[in-house]
Structures are given as C-alpha cells and as structure tokens.
Chains A and B, each alone.
Chain A
C-alpha cells in the first residue's frame, strides 16, 4: 500500500471526529446569560420530569416544526424563545413561529400564500385578529369524525392546538414548574399557584419569578444569580432529577442521531467509491477505502449506539417504545447486521446498504419527532419492560433484517442489470448475503410476532386477535417464509429471491407505517399526512425496481457471459504493467 492509501482511513477518522467536535462546539447559546443553566432546570410535563430545555424544544417543534427559531437570519435557541414567551411577551408575539401549510387556510386568514411569495410561519400578533375564525374552523373540523376530516380541517385543528399550546405555555399552565419542596407535595402548575395566596409563600415560585424578571430587565448578572439560586433551592430535594436533566440537555445539544446521520452519508460515499474502485481493479485503493468505510461506519454506529443507550437510561425503558424510537432502532439494527456482513464478505455493499438505511430511518425519526416529546410516558397496558424488551425489540429486529435484505436486493438488481459490476464472486456473495439475512429475518419476525401473542395473552387473554398491527407483523413472517420455501422448492433462484426481497420492503413498510395510517386522524400531525405520500412514493419505487429485476437473466449485464467475454480483459490488460 502506498502512503496515501494507508493514510486514507486515518483521514476519514479525523474528518468524522471533526464533524462530531463541530457538533458540540457549535452550540447555539451565546451571550452573557447562562442559558444552559436555565435549560437544565427540571419541570414536569406530559407525566415526566424533564429539563426546561426539552420542554422548550418540544413545544417549539410542535408549534413551528423546528427546534430553533430563526429570526432575521439569527438563530434563537428554544430556551431563549421560551424565556421571551414568559418574560417579554411583546417580543415573543412578533416572532414567526406558527406554521401553516395549507394554502387555503393561509388565504382564509388573509395572508399571502407560499406560492404568492408569502411566508410559512406567522406570529402570534398576526394571528390574533383571526382567533375567532381559527376557533370557528377548528370547531367545525372537530364535529367531523377524525377519520373523515379533510386536510384543511386537520390543519385548522392543528393550528388551533398550536395556539392553545402557546397560550398554555405563556400562562405557565404547562409545564408544571413548581417542584415538590416538602414531602407529600406533588408537581404543580404555576398557574394554579398564582390564583391562590400560597404564591408568595412558596420559595420556588419566587425564585422562578426572579429569573424571568431579571431577563425582562436584561439584567444578565441578576439572571445568572437567580438561576443559580433557584437551582440551589431545589437541589436538595431534586438532586437526581437535576442530574438526569443535565444529561438530557447534553443529549439535546449533542444530537447524536443527527451526527450519526451525517456520518452515515460519509460512510455510504466511501463504501460506494471503494466498490467502484474494486471493479476498476484498483485493489489497493479499494482496500484502503474499505478500511475507511468501516472506520466511519463504526464511529457512526458508536454514536448511534450512544444515543440509544442515553435514551434507554434517561427513560428507564427498553429501546423501542413508540414509532419514533422504532425508526431509530431499525436503523441501528440494520447497521449492526450490515457491519457483521461486511466483516464476512468485505465487498462494501452491505456497508452501503446499511449506511443508507441508517440515514433514511434517522430522517424518518427526525420527522416523527415533531409530535412533541419522543420520550413520552407509556400507556398503562404497554407498561411492561419485560415485553417491551423482548417482543418489541425482536420484532423490530425482524423489520430491520427484512429491510436490509430488501436494500441488498435493490443493489443486486440495479447493479446486476444495469452494470457489469457484480461479476466475479461479488454477485454470488451478495446473493448469499440476501439469503442469509432473509433467514435471519424470518426467525426474528416469527419469534417476535409470537412473543407479541404471548404478551397479548398475558394482558387480555387473547393470543391472536387479527388486529391491523398483528396482521402486519404476520405478513412479514409470511413474506420471508414464502421466499425461503420458494427457493427451497427450486421455484426461484438468485433473481427471484432478490425480486421478492424487494417486495419484502413494501410489506415491511406497510406493517411499520401503513397500519398506523389506517386510523388516520387519531394522531394526525402533519407528518403522517405527508407520510402517506412518501410511503406511496417508496412503494412505487420498489415496484419499479422489482420490474427491472424481472429482466431475463441473460440480459443482466453482470451475469451475461457474452458481455463478460467482451469486457473482462480490458481492466486486466491495464493491470499488467502495474
């Protein structure tokens, strides 16, 4: 190996480290006021104790679709926005935060739509003359059965809910900010306290008010002192909550999933480049890039794992508790399997496929996060760490394996039909990987589904109830079993397995997302609406790939002996002088 070839992996490690370091040093908070200290103060919202920073981010996310506010090109962190809402209501009321997507609703409220060059987000002051209209439209929408609401009605309700959330926040109805200082006390909302005479007696209420009064007066020193005093006041009773809150703020700022998303892109590019070079017979370079790919992939995976562990510890729950965390976990499991496959076959394709799944699922997760707190509390019936840890995890691994097999199959079909790159043993190796992952997927999805049945039997005495989610899981099992039996029976071979594995992608996306869309309206925030569109797009793209895969074997460029005879010698001739 030449020196640049040796250095390549190190260079990439350095690049990855740079990306990660940039993430942490480029924190959003500047200025003389200690915003981080304020953000770490624990409050109670949606049933869980969390740092104020998380509440501010989630609230801003729900209202505006973003975790930070961009004002005149300047990024305002969520916690400062929160302080504005409380202490400088005039300033906050002018910030463009209420996102409205539906052009008809924008027009109805008398604004220019996006097509006419208008904006997407509107301020409280701009909306306030229209409150009557908004609540009228929301009321009309509310009378329609959730399932039958049209996009306009859903948007009207969403906007109404966003305004209510803003008002609740401004009036300090949510979160509950008054902590239990004595035994027997519970978390309470400030709002109730100000209604009663207890207000001035409670040191936490006084301390809280001092913080925001100082901010209103732009008194940085007073602000920092008030925050420290407040923290000192609650520290004795809430020490463990504060420790957790500090970790959560670190997690919020570091955004491990976002960082690993970036690294997956890098890994994908490296793996792709390495794979191309291998087929150009640049062995040494390809090896160097393969090493670099693995380094970056492992770093990305480590960060991804770190994020998962952080969530597990913060929440005290197994990794998958809702749709958001299932997306994070599916990506994680795919990358894990991909790394193992890459260790066995070393052709870069498993790395490529898993990096792209890791990236995509984290994008999906990012979009799912706009419904608010991703670490929400569990419904009572789901509150069982044992079954969450077994059934949910195993069945999600089954989803992951089926997706990975499907993505490997896409590579097999596209590269096999359109390029000669899968010649030599690489086509065979890829095909073997697909088969192996399907076997694994069949076992995991079957065991996971059955464990779900046992959980159901334990919880309500019904092993199998044929409900949409259960049916979705069993479809994946059947899909995998169908592929395996068809292959064992000699009905299909490499090509057939690949085409059906791509079909597995459709089935899995249906089980994972589609079944949630059947009851649209129940949790209809913006994303699920557009998710239907993206899912249809995904399904159509898979159908196209399947159609390409149906090309007769002799026309596959990678496997056509004639093409091989014609083209194979060329690189070898070039190779000889070297």
Chain B
C-alpha cells in the first residue's frame, strides 16, 4: 500500500490539478472562439472529444483586423478530462480518510467524477436526430442532420422497396466510384458540397447548370456555401452533390442530388426504375408518430413565437401502444429510451420538427449535480460556521 501511495502521490498533486484547470480554461476559450468559423458539432468533436487538437492562432485576434498565422497543438477535452479524473482519483486514494469534515469534499469530488463520466458516456453513446412530420402525415424514421446519405431505391417489388444507401464518407471523395451488387450501375462522385444553396432557373447561369445533364440539375444548380458556425445559431448544413451514374457501356447521366430536393429523381436502367436522392441519414424505428395537429402561437403583432406544440398519435404495435400525446416546449415525450422534444416547425406551420434524443447516460448529470451540491454546501457550510464562530468571539 505504501508503495502504491508513493507512486500515486506525485500524480495526486494539487499543482497538477491547477495546471489542468488552466489548460481546460484555455481549451474551452479556444473551443468557443473556434465556433466563429466552424459548426458546433465539428468543434465538439475536434476540441472537446478529442485527444489532441490543432488550435489555429488566428482565432485569438479579430480576423478582420489582424491575422496571426500558425497553430499550436493542444491536449483535447478527452485527454484533459481523463487526466483530471486520474488526478482526482489518485488524490482520494492517497488522502483517503472518511471524517465528517472531509465528507463534503469527498461528496463534491464523487459528483465531479460522475459528471465527467456522464460526459464520456454522452460523447460515446448519445444519439440525436430529428423527426419531421407534416400535418396529417406520419413518420417512422429519424434523421441525423449532421450526416447525409445517397439513397438508390429499386421500387419494382410491390411489397418492399430495395434500398441501397451510400454513406456520406464515400461521397466526400470526389472521383470515387461506388458499386454494389444490387445495382446494375456504378456511381461516380463528381462533386460534394458539405453546405449548399440552390439557385433557381433564373438565378443560375447555363454553365452552372451544365454540371448535370439529367433530372432537376438541368434546371437548377447547387453552389457551395460556407458551413454553419456555432455562434450564428444555425447548426444545420444542407449538402448537395453531383453524381454520374455509370452503366456497363458508359455514362447513363449526371445528376444533381441535394437534401434540398424532396422529390426523388428517377432513372431507368434495363427494365427497372431507380429513384435516387440525397437525404439526411435515416434510421428506422419499429413505431410511428402521426401528426394530428401542429399549433404555433405568436405574440400579438409580432413574429416572436409564444408557444408551439404538436398533437401526435404514437403507434407501436410491438409494445401495444396506441395513444395521443401532446408535445410542447419543455414537455417532451419519452418512449423506448428515446425522448421527443418540440424543436422546430415547417414553414407555414404545415408540420412539426421533433428533436429525438437517445442518451443512456442522461440521468448521470442529475445524480452528480445533486451530489456535488450537497457536498459543496456541506464543506462550505462547515467552513462558514467555523468562521462565524471565530468572528463572534
């Protein structure tokens, strides 16, 4: 035991704690500033859930005025979080002693450990997505707005559609040729736009429209736009791509595919018709939600939303569930480990957008913050009591 303590003692040093706090503060500041040019999720992955991060120095000066070149490598959130955890655990092993007086500190730190673990669990396991339902319609899938996929659908079977889905990681490489044994053609990625804008027939030039020779792309064009940044509040990028389908005897056609385009484009190869479209990555659920009514109240004479809410019918045959639910601000629906929050709505109030979250660690922060609060009140309560006693003497 003594040997272990001797090893742990330097690791448990408060000096290390202070240094780690200072480094964390710098990382958080950098991660905040980075959101002026990057989307919040990119920043979270690069800065806070990474081992190392490359922090460009230009972030620390107003970029319209001064430009500082270069970058520094810095430990990422995962590294710092783990180190804080090790430091904290070592400290408690080395100095472990339960007394009334130390109880507050022990509880506080126990809570902090839970909080850090909770963030690890969230980072590793939590999934977020959107479910969009138009009024009168229903949905049984969840879209991940951080990732797109190219869907190629063979609808020739009257019972089931045969869907081949190309993940975004394949599409990000222009020039890549994608093939699948269920498809009688190959897909060549011509261009990939992580965030884009659609130009209508009047806005686009013929040259812009020449990138596609079949389908919608002959009338409209997509142009790349900067990806959304964390600070301007817009978090969703809308990707587009140009792809060429290659048959056995050469090109079948070049298409513009975009998440903006809801209607599938059809291409006939041999005796089969294939629908092709780019959409946010979907995962299907064994239950469905039907939107009965969406309500959106505004404050009199303004566009400021006062309240919005969705009346939905939840149908889950497996679980024998069929009931009406009212979802509104701060009042989500919880079903099968997933939580549905009222998040947004479609233009003209024609439908609702629900945020769907599955986070197995969602309870941890609740427990940890109660524990920390009790611990802190305990510790500082004892200190304050002592101070006031001394004062009154």
Contact = CB atoms under 8 A, between A and B. Distances in A.
B365 A454 contact: yes
A147 B232 contact: yes
Nearest to B305: A380
B15 interface: yes
B28 A46 contact: no
Given A176-B301, A489-B18, A464 B122 contact: yes
A463 B372 contact: no
A48 B299 CA distance: 8
B40 A446 contact: no
A171 interface: no
Contacts of A479: 25
A459 interface: yes
B60 interface: no
B32 A187 contact: no
A174 B301 contact: yes
Contact of B28 (A48, A387, A478, A481): A478
Nearest to A384: B330
Interface stretch (A68-76, A284-292, A467-475): A467-475
Interface string A551-578: 0000000000000000000000000000
B300 interface: yes
Contacts of A485: 14, 17-18, 21
B308 interface: yes
B232 A519 contact: yes
A453 interface: yes
Interface in A177-221: 186-187, 189
Given A454-B365, A485-B21, A47 B299 contact: yes
B366 A454 contact: yes
A446 B376 contact: yes
Given A459-B329, A463-B365, A491-B15, A47 B306 contact: yes
Given A46-B301, A176-B301, A383-B329, A344 B365 contact: no
A48 B298 CA distance: 11
A462 interface: yes
Contact of A377 (B29, B299, B329, B377): B299
A164 to B, nearest CB: 15
A383 B297 CA distance: 13
A377 B301 CA distance: 12
Contacts of A451: 369
B119 A380 contact: no
Given A44-B300, A187-B300, A468 B231 contact: yes
A488 B108 CA distance: 15
B286 interface: no
Interface string B19-32: 00110110011011
Contacts of B343: 460
Nearest to B13: A489
A447 interface: yes
B17 A176 contact: no
Interface in A124-168: 146-148
A518 B128 contact: no
B225 to A, nearest CB: 10
A518 B36 contact: yes
A461 interface: yes
Contacts of A486: 14, 18
Contact of A466 (B31, B115, B357): B31
A278 B304 CA distance: 56
Interface string A362-385: 000000000000000101110110
A512 interface: no
Given A383-B307, A446-B372, A464-B119, A478 B14 contact: no
Interface residues of B, number: 63
A69 B291 CA distance: 53
Given A443-B376, A461-B332, A489 B25 contact: no
B308 A460 contact: no
B233 interface: yes
A465 B25 CA distance: 16
Interface in B58-88: 64
A197 B64 CA distance: 55
Interface range on chain A (Cβ under 8 Å from partner): 35 or more
B280 interface: no
Interface string A408-440: 000000000000000000000000100010011
Nearest to A480: B21
Contacts of B51: none
Nearest to A465: B40
Task: Among B33, B299, B343, find the residue whose CB has the most chain A CB atoms closer than 10 A.
Answer: B299
A44 B301 contact: yes
Contacts of B359: 461, 463
Contacts of A377: 299, 302, 304, 306
Contacts of B330: 381, 384, 387, 458-459
A515 B32 contact: yes
Contacts of A238: none
Contacts of B31: 466, 471
Nearest to B44: A466
B370 to A, nearest CB: 9
A447 B376 CA distance: 9
Contacts of B17: 485, 489
Contacts of B40: 465-467
B362 A471 contact: no
B332 A380 contact: no
A47 B299 CA distance: 4
A482 B21 contact: yes
Contacts of B373: 447, 450
B140 interface: no
Interface string A2-30: 00000000000000000000000000000
Interface in A517-540: 518-519, 522
A461 B304 contact: no
Contact of B355 (A146, A461, A482, A518): A461
Interface in B112-148: 115, 118-119, 122, 128
B284 interface: no
B383 interface: yes
A104 interface: no
B35 interface: yes
Contact of A457 (B119, B233, B362, B380): B362
A24 B21 CA distance: 51
A463 B118 contact: yes
Contacts of B383: 439
A259 to B, nearest CB: 31
A436 B387 contact: yes
A45 interface: yes
B22 A488 contact: no
A226 B232 CA distance: 49
Contacts of A447: 369, 373, 376
B302 A46 contact: yes
Interface in B212-241: 230-233
Interface in B331-390: 332, 339, 341, 343, 355, 357, 359, 362, 365-366, 369, 372-373, 376-377, 380, 383-384, 387
B187 interface: no
B99 interface: no
Nearest to B364: A463
Contacts of A432: 387
A195 B300 CA distance: 20
Contacts of B302: 46-47, 377
B169 interface: no
B43 A466 contact: yes
A73 B123 CA distance: 64
Given A457-B366, A478-B21, A486-B14, 11 more contacts: A44-B300, A46-B304, A146-B232, A442-B376, A459-B341, A462-B128, A463-B122, A466-B47, A478-B28, A482-B21, A522-B232
7 contacts: A381-B330, A436-B384, A450-B369, A454-B365, A454-B369, A460-B341, A463-B118
Closest 10 CB pairs of A and B: A47-B299, A489-B14, A461-B357, A450-B369, A482-B21, A518-B231, A519-B231, A380-B305, A471-B32, A463-B365
